[in-house]
Structures are given as structure tokens and as C-alpha cells.
């Protein structure tokens, strides 16, 4: 869990606690000031917690606000349908929560659909034949499979791009039944500079077996901070397993003939596909 994830989790807990305290303050027979003060303190802490994430990734905060507000509106709506003479306050609160949630969602939708900056192209989305794109710690990655044949292994090209103004480190691994590959001489951790786009070309050989083999490309990302400038979001990479909680991307490779199965695999290649021009986004580095 990154520092940003921890902030959002704590903000969610405090928002729920503040909402409960505010409910007690408003709907008790005798007005109580202590719950109101507690609710105000909780909401103030939430605002302070979200200031830094908003500077680094405004869309993440807008999505959080939209989710919390629309969830609150749904709960209040259920209460209004089941309560007897609920009064005007819950109706007003439900309407306000729905308005805030829809407004936050519309804002982030518009931001993410804005025209692409020519100085910051979405290189990964433009890769021909790229499969599903996943995201881990503001690094997006996708794969293109070039099928092998005869003595030639499959080539899996993994393109990964940093979406923010702070560097990240990426570590790759390959998992699959009856699968053989080699990661050396690629460094254990690949340094990805701010906003850079890299490519890792992996030779992979799958043994003869019925049907295609599911091969998982695992990606662990280290690093924190930085302002997000690539606004288009990708689906979050799910953990590979409870014991190996790094994100992964799955590709399917056909079995190769036994001829040349024991031949040495060529070395993988790591290359930098794109990097921003020096000084282009220097002003945005303050968010790091």
C-alpha cells in the first residue's frame, strides 16, 4: 500500500465517523454539540489529508469524492424510502450529496477526456496490437505478443510508461506452467525517469502441451510522490496472489515445437522509447 492509498483509506474512515457523529448531532431529541464538534474535527482532518493527493493527482481525489458522495446519497435514499416522516434534513442532505458526487464525476470525466498534450503523448495507448493496459503506482504497462516458430521463441514486448513527475523503479518477473525465459542481463530494478516510456522485450518459450499457455508478466513498482500529468487512467493491476501481491498482466502463448527447445534463449532487451525534452515539464516538478 502506497502513502497515497493510506491517506485515502484514513480519509474514508474519518468521513464515515464524521457522518455518524453528524447524524447523532442532528437527529437526537436534544441537540448535542459534542458530536457536532467531533464531526467538524473529522471533516477538517479529511480536508488536510487530501490536500497533498489533490496536488499530485486531482482526478484520484475527484473519484474518491464522487464515490463517497454518491454512496452517501444512496444510503440516505434507502433511509428516506424506509423511514416514516423522515423530515426535510435527510432529503436536503441526499440531494446535496448526489449533486456533489455527480459534479465531481463529471469534472474528472472531462479532465481525462481532454485533448492530448503534443509534448506528452500517450505512447502506450498508441502501440499497435497492445492488449489490456494495467496500472500500478502510476506506472501503466501493456504487452504485445510476437509469436515464435520453429527454433525461434515467442517475443513479448512489455511497454511501460511513468505517468508522473517523480521517478519510479520497476521489477519484472514471468510466471507460467512449462514456461522458460531469461531476465538477465536486465537489471533487477529498472529505473524509469519522470514521464519516461520504456520497453522490455522478453524471449519466452512454452513447452508442447494441449492448448495455449497462460503466462503472467508480474510488475512491482517502487517509489512515491510526483504530480500526475498523464491523466488517462488504466485499470488497476490486481495482485497476483496473497503471497505475491504485485500487479500482473496475463498473455496467452501457443506451444512451440520440440525442435530447438533446449537451445539457449536470446537475452532480453531493455530500451527507452520516449522521454520528455529537457525542461519541458520542469515547472511541474514541484509536485514531486
Give DSSP secondary structure letters for 89-154.
Answer: HHHHHHHHHHHHHHHHHHHHHHHHTSPPPTTS--TGGGSTT----EEETTEEEEEEEE--BTTBPE
Say what percent of the chain tops pLDDT 90: 41
User: How many alpha carbons lie under 13 Å from residue 54 in its C-beta half-sphere?
Assistant: 11
pLDDT at 245: 75
* pTM given for the model: 0.81
Q: Strand 179-181 to strand 139-146: parallel, antiparallel, or no bridges (unpaired)? A: unpaired
Confidence tier at 209 by pLDDT (50, 70, 90): low
248 close to 91: Cβ distance less than 8 angstroms: no
Q: Strand 235-236 to strand 134-136: parallel, antiparallel, or no bridges (unpaired)? A: parallel
Q: Work out the mean pLDDT of the chain and round it to a whole number.
A: 85
| 3-27 helix and 58-82 helix, angle to the nearest 10 degrees | 30
pLDDT at 159: 95
Confidence tier at 49 by pLDDT (50, 70, 90): very high
DSSP code, position 228: B
Domains and CATH numbers, the chain: 3-112 (no CATH), 124-287 (2.60.40.10)
Q: What is the pLDDT of residues 227-256, one digit of tens each?
A: 999 999 999 998 887 767 788 989 888 887
Does residue 208 register a pLDDT over 50? yes
Amino acid at each position: 500500500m502506497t502513502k497515497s492509498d493510506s491517506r485515502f483509506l484514513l480519509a474514508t474512515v474519518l468521513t464515515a465517523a464524521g457522518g455518524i457523529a453528524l447524524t447523532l448531532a442532528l437527529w437526537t431529541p436534544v441537540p448535542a454539540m459534542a458530536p457536532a464538534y467531533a464531526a467538524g474535527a473529522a471533516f477538517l482532518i479529511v480536508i488536510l489529508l487530501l490536500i497533498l493527493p489533490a496536488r499530485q493527482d486531482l482526478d484520484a481525489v475527484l473519484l474518491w469524492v464522487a464515490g463517497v458522495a454518491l454512496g452517501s446519497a444512496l444510503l440516505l435514499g434507502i433511509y428516506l424510502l424506509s423511514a416514516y416522516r423522515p423530515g426535510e434534513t435527510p432529503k436536503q442532505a441526499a440531494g446535496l450529496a448526489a449533486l456533489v458526487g455527480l459534479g465531481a464525476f463529471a469534472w474528472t470525466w472531462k479532465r481525462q477526456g481532454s485533448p492530448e498534450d503534443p509534448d506528452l503523448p500517450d505512447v502506450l495507448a498508441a502501440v499497435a496490437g497492445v492488449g489490456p493496459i494495467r496500472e500500478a503506482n502510476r506506472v501503466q504497462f501493456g504487452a504485445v505478443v510476437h509469436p515464435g516458430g520453429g527454433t525461434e521463441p515467442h517475443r513479448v514486448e512489455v511497454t511501460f510508461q511513468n505517468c508522473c513527475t517523480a521517478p519510479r523503479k520497476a521489477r519484472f518477473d514471468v510466471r507460467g506452467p512449462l514456461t522458460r525465459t531469461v531476465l538477465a542481463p536486465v537489471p533487477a530494478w529498472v529505473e524509469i525517469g519522470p514521464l519516461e516510456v520504456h520497453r522490455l522485450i522478453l524471449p519466452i518459450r512454452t513447452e508442447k502441451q494441449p492448448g495455449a499457455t497462460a503466462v503472467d508478466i508480474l510488475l512491482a513498482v517502487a517509489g512515491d510522490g510526483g504530480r500526475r500529468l498523464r491523466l488517462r487512467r488504466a485499470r488497476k493491476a490486481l495482485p497476483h496472489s496473497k503471497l505475491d501481491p504485485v500487479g500482473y498482466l496475463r498473455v496467452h502463448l501457443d506451444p512451440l515445437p520440440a525442435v530447438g527447445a533446449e537451445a539457449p534463449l536470446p537475452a532480453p532487451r531493455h530500451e527507452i522509447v520516449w522521454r520528455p525534452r529537457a525542461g519541458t515539464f520542469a515547472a511541474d516538478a514541484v509536485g514531486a
